[in-house]
Amino acid sequence: MNLHRLSALIVKELLSYLRDPKSRMTLIGPPIMQLLVFSFAATLEVKNVDVALFDRDHGAWSEELTARIRASSFVDDLLPVDGPEELQELIDTGQVLMAVELPDDFSRNLIAGRPATAQVIVDGRRANAGQIAARYLSDIAAEMNRDLTFELGTIRGAPASGGGVPPPEVVVRHWFNPNLVYRWFIVPGLVGILAMLLALLVTGLSIARERELGTFDQLLVSPVTPFEIVVGKTVPALIVGTVMGNVMILAGVFALRVPFTGSLWMLELSLVLFIFSVVGIGLMLSSICKTQQQAILGVFSIMVPVILISGFATPLENMPTWLQLVAQASPLKHFLIIVQGTFLRAQPAMDVLANAWPLVVIAACTLILANLIVQRRLQ
């Protein structure tokens, strides 16, 4: 392996990315913009909910429940309706996420000491937000029940606690993210995804583009060996991917204020290994494809399922077991644990390495395969 030839190839490749101003811009601009926009957009919290209210009772306790719902932080607008058709229309057209229907004996039941049932109708098309909102509502109901026990107990002349044992207190503490700020969860994940996207697009095109433009054959007839070609394409992509990854980590810590509790060196090492494995996949694909379009679409077709099964938005344990096994082949899955761990969980070095060694395996396998395919092309 001739280092002189190799460095020439690397410089050539870097120049091809960075010389064209449009190309420079698309390498740097979109990932940062996406990080900033999507980290605020991607949230599984539920806020600004519109609720319809069908109150058949208009008694003291239905007014009380209504007031509590209106006052809660996740509700934006409480829209009163006069009949079931209006309620149906509001839900059908998506103007409200859910509706509360109070029967005409609601307050009467409560005063008499009986349970009173209210219907909560949720738009199942937005079932995830609906479930969370329904949970918030049941929290409101539980609080009202606690206050009811006190008020109605004293109204009926019995001692407030009724002489009974209060229920056990459940003390909840959320480790690593006490206020459950969604951004703290999303940003590390986005760093991984956007770095992967960039590295994949760049490497996926590298060989296929040269083939389409005819310059790959020129490379093959030059003294350069297949191994040098592969390394010559790996190193520039590694540089670009790692630099952009670091830019995004900095943006995450300083612009988006996500805490960083772990070891930066461990994260850097893992980032390099991650980009390595991603570049390996991209090059392997690129060496198979004959045109840029095939390479881009091929990269895309692999990337989207990989992102989906890697646990970015939905945790791995929600998936069937066999799919979790398949996910082990996704470098993003391992890197996500590391990046979230070093950001939020002060992940110890042993844990980082335990999650990093699969990246080495993936990188090794894909780069060897890429090498073999390019060698075959030479014959």
Partner 1 sequence: MKARRLLALVRKESLQIVRDPSSILIAFVLPTILLFLFAYAVSLDVQNVRLGVVLESDGAAARELAADFAATRYFEVLPVRDRREVEDLLVAQKLRALVVIPQDFDRRLAAGSRPAVQVLTDGSQPNTASFVAGYAEGVVATWFESRKHERTHEGVGLGPNGGGPAVVLEPRFWFNPEVESRRFLVPGSIAIIMTTIGTLLTALVVAREWERGTMEALFSTPSGILEILLGKLLPYFALGLVATLGCGLLAVTVFDVPLRGSWGALLALSATFLVPALGQGLLISALARNQFIAAQVAVFSGFLPAFLLSGFLFEIESMPPAIRALTYLIPARYFVTGLQTVFAAGDVWAQLGPNMLAMLAVGAGFFAVTARKTRKSLDR
Please report whether residue 154 would count as binding partner 1 according to CB under 8 A.
no
Q: Which stretch binds partner 1 (CB under 8 A): 25-33, 246-254, 266-274, 365-373?
A: 25-33
The verdict on 304 binding partner 1 (CB under 8 A) reads: yes
> Taking contact as CB under 8 A, which single stretch among the options 30-38, 233-241, 265-273, 368-376 is the one that binds partner 1?
30-38
Q: What is the DSSP string of 26-56?
A: HHHHHHHHHHHHHHHH------SEEEEEEES
Of 250, 248, 259, 255, residue with least CA distance to 345: 259
Per CB under 8 A, contacts with partner 1 among 349-378 are: 351
How far is 279 from 288, CA to CA, in rounded Å?
A: 14
CA distances from 151 to 49, 148, 165, 167, 216 (A): 30, 5, 17, 17, 83
User: How many C-beta atoms lie closer than 10 Å to residue 257's C-beta?
Assistant: 11
Instruction: Determine the residue type at 220.
Output: L
Stretch touching partner 1 by CB under 8 A, among 4-12, 146-154, 226-234, 240-248: 146-154
Separation of CA 350 from chain center: 25
113 binds partner 1 (CB under 8 A): yes
Closest CA to 367 of 298, 299, 277, 294: 277
List 6, 9, 52, 122, residue binding partner 1 (CB under 8 A) = 122
Q: How far is the CB of 130 from partner 1 (least distance, A)?
A: 6
Considering only residues 262 through 281, tell me which ones interact with partner 1, judged by CB under 8 A: none
C-alpha span between 278 and 19 (Å, rounded): 24
* Strand order, beta sheet including 75-80: 75-80, 49-55, 98-102
Task: State yes or no: residue 328 binds partner 1 (CB under 8 A).
Answer: no
Q: Indicate which single residue of 12, 58, 114, 376 sits in contact with partner 1 (rule: CB under 8 A).
A: 114
When asked if residue 43 is in the footprint of partner 1 (CB under 8 A), the reply is yes
Q: Which listed residue (2, 70, 82, 138) binds partner 1 by CB under 8 A?
A: 138
| Shortest Å, Cβ 138 to partner 1 | 5
Shortest reach from residue 223's CB to partner 1, in Å: 28
Per-residue string for binding with partner 1, 179-218, x by CB under 8 A? -xxx-xx-----------x---x---x---x---------
Among 19, 83, 85, 115, binds partner 1 (CB under 8 A): 115
Min CB(256)–partner 1 separation in Å: 13
The verdict on 253 binding partner 1 (CB under 8 A) reads no
Instruction: Give me the least distance between CB of 332 and partner 1, in Å please.
Output: 14
**Count residues contacting partner 1 (CB under 8 A)?**
126
* Bridge partner list, 50: 77
Under rule CB under 8 A, which residues in 63-82 are in contact with partner 1? 65, 76
Closest Cα partner for 85 from 69, 61, 101, 63? Answer: 101
If one asks whether residue 171 binds partner 1 (CB under 8 A), the answer comes out as yes
Closest CA to 255 of 48, 39, 60, 82: 39
Buried (b) or exposed (e) across 355-379, using 16+ Cβ within 10 A?
Answer: bbebbeebbeebbebbbebbeebee
